[in-house]
Structure 1
Amino acid sequence: MTELFVPRQTNTALYMQLYEAGHAVDDIVRVQKAYRVGCAMFNGRYRKTGRPFICHAVGAASSVAHFDKDLDLVIAAMFHAAYDSGQYPDGKSSRRSDAHRRWLEQKIGATVEGLVARVDAMKFDTGDPERLVEKGVPAGDEDVLFLRLAHEIDDLADGGLAFAPKYGRSIESRITACAILARRLGRERLAATIETYGSLYETQAWAAALHEPKLEGFRIAPNMRTYIKLRWESLRGGSVEVI
Structure 2
Amino acid sequence: MTGEDLFVPRQTNTALYMQLHDAGHTVEDILRVQRAYRLACGMFNGRYRKSGRAFICHAVGAASSVAHFDKDLDLVIAAMFHAAYDSGQYPDGRSSRRSEAHRKWLEQNVGPAVESLVARVDAMKFDTGDPERLVEKGMPAGDEDILFLRLAHEIDDMADGGMAFAPKYGRSMESRIKACAILARHMGREGLAATIETYGRLYETQTWAAALQEAKLGGFRIAPNLRTYIKLRWLNFRGGSVEVL
Cα distance in 1 for partners of 2:156, 2:242 equals 22
TM-score normalized with structure 2 length? 0.96
Residue in 2 aligned with 1:220?
A: 222
Q: Deviations over 1:65-123 (max 9, x none)?
A: 00000000000000000000000000000000000000001110000000000000000
Cα distance in 2 for partners of 1:238, 1:196 equals 36
Residue in 2 aligned with 1:181?
A: 183
Superposed counterparts of 1:28-43, under 5 Å: 28-43=30-45
TM-score normalized with structure 1 length? 0.96
Equivalent residue in structure 2 for 1:100, among 99, 102, 123: 102
Residue in 1 aligned with 2:29?
A: 27
Q: Residues 174 and 136 of structure 1: is their aligned pair in 2 closer, same or farther, counting only changes over 3 Å?
A: same
2:9–2:62 CA contact under 8 A, matched in 1: yes
Residue in 2 aligned with 1:151?
A: 153
Does residue 114 (structure 1) correspond to residue 129 (structure 2)? The answer is no
Residue in 2 aligned with 1:61?
A: 63
Cα distance in 1 for partners of 2:8, 2:73 equals 19
Give the match's secondary structure for 2:53.
coil
Q: What is the percentage of aligned positions where both structures have the same residue?
A: 84
Cα distance in 1 for partners of 2:100, 2:7 equals 38
Task: Letter of the 1:148 partner, please give it.
Answer: R
Gaps of at least 5 residues in structure 1 are none
CA RMSD, 1 decimal: 1.4
| 1:213, distance to aligned residue in structure 2 (A) | 1.8
Report how many aligned residue pairs link the two structures: 243
Residue in 2 aligned with 1:190?
A: 192
Residue in 2 aligned with 1:126?
A: 128
Task: Letter of the 2:164 partner, please give it.
Answer: A
| 1:239, distance to aligned residue in structure 2 (A) | 4.6
1:215–1:239 CA contact under 8 A, matched in 2: no
Q: Deviations over 1:162-193 (max 9, x none)?
A: 00011111110000000000000100000000
Cα distance in 2 for partners of 1:165, 1:70 equals 30
| Deviating 4+ runs (over 4 angstroms) | 233-239
Equivalent residue in structure 1 for 2:80, among 78, 81, 85: 78
Give the match's secondary structure for 1:203.
coil
Q: Deviations over 1:143-164 (max 9, x none)?
A: 0000000000000000000000
Cα distance in 2 for partners of 1:40, 1:163 equals 26
